[in-house]
């Protein structure tokens, strides 16, 4: 599952874009905010959720990873 970004909380700092090892994020054009542009390259490492200091990212683990 793709990470979810709370666009209201997000301050567009870009840390998640820089630090994601899967290159999942990109800055949207025209004020679209940060987009999960490549959700299929996410392997749910949790880096973005930890690095986003204002808690604007939530990584939902697939059911098979919760077992």
Interacting residue ranges for ligand SF4, rule: CB under 6 A: 3, 5, 10-16, 20-22, 24, 34, 42-48, 51-52, 54, 56-57, 59
Closer residue to ligand SF4 in complex, CB, 44/63? 44
SS3 65: helix
Smallest gap from residue 28 Cβ to ligand SF4 (A): 11
Q: Match 């959720």 to its residue by tokens.
A: 49
Closer residue to ligand SF4 in complex, CB, 11/65? 11
Which residues partner with 34 through β-bridges? 27
- In whole angstroms, what is the distance from residue 27 CA to residue 67 CA? 34
């Amino acid at each position: 599952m793709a990470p979810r970004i709370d666009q209201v909380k997000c301050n567009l700092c870009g840390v998640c874009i820089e630090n994601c090892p899967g290159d999942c994020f990109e800055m949207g054009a025209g004020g679209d905010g940060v987009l999960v542009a490549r959700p299929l390259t996410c392997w749910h490492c949790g880096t973005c959720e930890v690095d986003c200091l204002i808690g604007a990212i939530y990584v939902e683990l697939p059911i098979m990873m919760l077992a």
